[in-house]
Structure 1
Amino acid sequence: MTKRIVIFCDFDGTITEKDNILDIMKHFAPPQWKKIVDDIFAKKKSLREGVGELFSLIPSEKQQELTGYVVQNARIRDGFGEFVTFCKEQNIHLLVTSNGIDFFIHPILAPFEDIEKIYCNESDFSGDTVRILWPHPCDEYCGVDCGMCKTTVIRSYKNDDFKVVIGDSLTDLEGAKIADAVIARSYLKEKCEELGIEHESFTDFYDCIRALKTMKERLVG
Structure 2
Amino acid sequence: MSKQPIIFCDFDGTITESDNIIAIMKHFAPPEWEELKDNVLSQHISIKDGVGKMFSLLPSSSKEEITRFVQENGILRAGFEEFVVFTQKENIPLYIVSGGIDFFIYPMLDHFIDRDHIYCNASDFSKENIQIIWPHACDEFCSNDCGCCKPSILRLFDNDKYEKIVIGDSITDLQAAKLADRVYARDYLIEKCEELDIHYTPFADFTEIIQNLNGVKAR
TM range (shorter): over 0.9
Q: Is the 8 A contact 2:106 2:115 kept in 1?
A: no
Q: Which residue of 1 aligns with 2:201?
A: 200
Q: Which residue of 1 aligns with 2:218?
A: 217
| CA displacement 1:140-179 (0-9 Å, x = unmatched) | 1111000000000001001120000000000011111110
**Aligned AA (1:16):** T
**Aligned AA (1:180):** D
Which runs of no fewer than 5 residues in structure 1 stay unpaired?
none
Which runs of no fewer than 5 residues in structure 2 stay unpaired?
none
| CA displacement 1:51-88 (0-9 Å, x = unmatched) | 00000000001110010001110000000000000000
SS in structure 2 of the partner of residue 121 of structure 1: strand
| CA displacement 1:8-52 (0-9 Å, x = unmatched) | 000000000000000000011101110111111122210001100
Q: Is the 8 A contact 2:47 2:146 kept in 1?
A: yes
Q: Which residue of 2 aligns with 1:112?
A: 112
Q: Which residue of 2 aligns with 1:187?
A: 188
Query: Structure 1-normalised TM-score?
Result: 0.95
Identity %: 53
Aligned-pair distance for 1:194?
2.1
Q: Is the 8 A contact 1:84 1:114 kept in 2?
A: no
Provide the C-alpha distance between the structure 2 equivalents of 1:91 and 1:75, rounded to a whole number of angstroms: 26
Query: Structure 1 segments of 4 or more deviating over 6 A?
Result: none
Query: Structure 2-normalised TM-score?
Result: 0.96
Q: Which residue of 2 aligns with 1:125?
A: 125
SS in structure 1 of the partner of residue 118 of structure 2: strand
Provide the C-alpha distance between the structure 2 equivalents of 1:188 and 1:113, rounded to a whole number of angstroms: 24
Q: Which residue of 2 aligns with 1:95?
A: 95
Q: Which residue of 1 aligns with 2:170?
A: 169
Q: Is the 8 A contact 2:163 2:181 kept in 1?
A: yes
Aligned-pair distance for 1:114?
6.2
